[in-house]
C-alpha cells in the first residue's frame, strides 16, 4: 500500500533560530493488533473480539514510514497507540518497522500501548509495562527532549489523562530556552472547537483538562479527576505569553483538527494511522519570508 501525498495534511510553521527548513512526520494511532501464544496467559477466550490482526494496519504504518524516508524527513514522531496492546507480536512488528527508518525518531505512549483488555486500567499496570517500550523511548517513556538543528522536540506521556509534577517540571525546564519548542503527546488539550468535535464522535470529552464529566462517565472511561499537576500543566500551556512552545501535536481522537491556543501556539491533532492518517510538518526559517 502507498500513501497519496495529496491526502496528507501538510503543516507549515515559521520559526527563528534555524538555518534551513526542517521536515517532520507525525504518525499516531496505528493500533496494531498482532498477537501470538507468548501472551496467551494475559487474555481470556471472551476477549477474542480484541484480537483480530489487520494487515492493512501494518501496511499503512509501513507506507507512512516509506513516505517519510522518501521525503526525506529529518525526524519521525510517534504519539502513541501505535499498538492496541503491548503484545510481543505487536512489539516485534513495530521494531521491524522502526529499523527501516532513515532518520531519528521519537515515541511517546498512548492509552492502548500499555494496556491489555483483561487488566485494570490504572497507573500500576502502565508502570508494569513501561519497560517494554524502553527501547523506543531512550529508556524513559515518561518524557524526552531532542534538539534538532535549532529546534527542540518535547515528548510527554499523558496516556493516563494526567501530567505528573515531574513531567511538568521537566517541560518547564526544557521550554526555558531560546529554541522554538514543539510538544508531542497522545491526548490533546481540551479546546472549545475540539471539545465539540470530540464529544460528537466519542460522546465524552476525552481530552486533557476537559470539564463536563460525571461520576458515571468517569467510571465508564476509567478517567479520574485531574491531578493538581495536570491542571497546572493545562493552565501553563494556555498562558501564551511565556512559553517557547510553538505548536502541540497529538492524536487519540482519530481525526484531523487544527486550533490556536492564544496568539503564539497552535494545537494540531492528526488522524489515526490505521486509517491512513499522518501529518507532514514543515518548519521554515523566518528569514526565508523576509
* pLDDT tens by residue, 201-223: 999 999 999 999 999 999 999 99
Q: What is the pLDDT of residue 203?
A: 94
By the 10 Å C-beta count (0-12 exposed, 13-18 middle, 19+ buried), 173 is classed as exposed
Give the residues of the chain that fall short of pLDDT 50: 1
Q: Is the peptide bond before 72 cis (omega within 30 degrees of 0)?
A: yes
Dig out the grid coordinates for 268 from the structure: 494540531
- What predicted TM-score, i.e. pTM, was given to this entire model? 0.94
- 75-78 and 22-27 strand pairing: parallel
CATH number of the domain located at residue range(s) 5-289 in this protein: 3.60.21
pLDDT of residue 289: 59
CA-based torsion, 72, 269, 134, 85: positive or negative: negative
Domain ranges of the chain: 5-289
- State the alpha helices, DSSP H only, in 80-238: 88-98, 123-129, 165-175, 192-202, 215-221, 228-238
CA angle, residues 214, 84, 77, in degrees to nearest 5: 95
> What pLDDT does residue 262 have?
83
Amino acid at each position: 500500500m502507498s500513501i497519496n501525498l495529496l491526502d496528507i495534511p501538510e503543516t507549515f510553521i515559521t520559526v527563528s533560530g534555524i538555518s534551513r527548513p526542517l521536515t517532520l512526520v507525525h504518525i499516531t494511532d496505528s493500533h496494531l493488533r498482532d498477537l501470538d501464544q507468548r501472551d496467551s496467559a494475559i487474555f481470556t477466550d471472551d476477549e477474542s473480539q480484541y484480537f483480530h490482526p489487520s494487515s492493512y494496519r501494518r501496511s499503512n504504518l509501513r507506507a507512512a514510514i516509506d513516505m517519510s524516508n522518501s521525503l526525506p524527513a529529518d525526524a519521525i514522531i510517534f504519539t502513541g497507540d501505535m499498538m492496541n496492546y503491548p503484545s510481543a507480536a505487536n512489539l516485534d512488528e513495530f521494531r521491524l518497522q522502526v529499523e527501516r527508518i532513515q532518520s531519528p525518531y521519537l515515541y511517546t505512549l498512548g492509552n492502548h500501548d500499555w494496556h491489555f483488555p483483561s487488566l485494570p486500567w490504572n497507573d500500576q499496570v502502565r508502570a508494569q509495562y513501561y519497560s517494554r517500550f524502553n527501547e523506543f523511548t531512550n529508556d524513559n517513556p515518561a518524557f524526552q527532549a531532542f534538539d534538532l538543528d535549532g529546534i527542540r522536540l518535547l515528548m510527554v506521556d499523558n496516556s493516563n489523562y494526567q501530567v505528573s509534577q515531574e513531567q511538568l517540571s521537566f517541560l518547564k525546564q526544557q521550554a526555558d530556552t531560546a529554541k522554538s519548542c514543539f510538544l508531542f503527546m497522545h491526548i490533546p488539550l481540551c479546546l472549545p472547537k475540539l471539545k465539540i468535535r470530540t464529544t460528537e464522535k466519542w460522546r465524552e470529552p476525552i481530552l486533557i483538562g476537559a470539564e463536563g464529566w460525571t461520576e458515571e462517565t468517569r467510571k465508564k472511561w476509567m478517567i479520574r479527576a485531574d491531578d493538581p499537576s495536570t491542571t497546572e500543566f493545562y493552565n501553563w500551556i494556555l498562558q501564551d505569553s511565556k512559553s517557547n512552545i510553538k505548536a502541540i501535536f497529538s492524536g487519540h481522537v482519530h481525526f484531523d483538527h487544527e486550533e490556536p491556543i492564544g496568539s503564539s501556539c497552535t494545537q494540531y491533532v492528526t488522524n489515526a494511522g490505521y486509517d491512513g492518517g499522518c501529518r507532514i510538518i514543515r518548519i521554515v526559517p523566518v528569514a526565508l519570508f523576509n
